[in-house]
Amino acid sequence: MDVAGPPPAGACRASEVLGRVGDKWSLQVIFSLGNGAKRFTDLKRGIAGISQRMLTVTVRGLERDGIVTRTIYPVIPPRVDYELTPMGRTLLDAAGTLVCWAHAHLDEIEAARTAYDAREQRGERASTA
């Protein structure tokens, strides 16, 4: 992949899409739906720290972008399932890789943050090129 040179046509629009699918909640929703359709409450239960409001905003955005479908069943109480679309399924490898990478490196990232914060408190800065 050649990253040198001017951005390709449509780069601004692509950045908008990357902003949607690349945020922390969207990645986790996509990854969570990788095993099939889930109800809202099951989705919320499986994503630590997400609020009901944030999950609602996230799945609506993913639905708008054609990544997630929402199916409403006419039963009492109402049942709503969320599922990846065929296009959404194409994101599974990338989302899974990023989510797994984050989990695998949590301790290293926390150690780096602690060291950085300690240097900042002492007024030191790491040398940069």
CATH class belonging to 19-122: mainly alpha
Does residue 96 have a pLDDT over 90?
no
Per-residue confidence (pLDDT) for residue 5, from 0 to 100: 60
Lowest-confidence region among 20-24, 46-50, 51-55, 89-93: 20-24
pTM over 0.85: no
Q: Are 68 and 85 in contact (CB under 8 A)?
A: yes
**Pick the residue with more confidence: 34 or 9?**
34
**Pick the residue with more confidence: 57 or 96?**
57
Per-residue confidence (pLDDT) for residue 24, from 0 to 100: 85
* Contacts by 91-99, CB closer than 8 A, 24 or more apart: 91/21, 91/30, 91/67, 92/30, 92/31, 92/34, 95/21, 95/27, 95/30, 95/31, 95/34, 96/31, 96/34, 98/27, 99/27, 99/28, 99/31
Instruction: Indicate the domain borders of the chain.
Output: 19-122
Mean of the pLDDT values across residues 12-18? 76
Per-residue confidence (pLDDT) for residue 13, from 0 to 100: 77
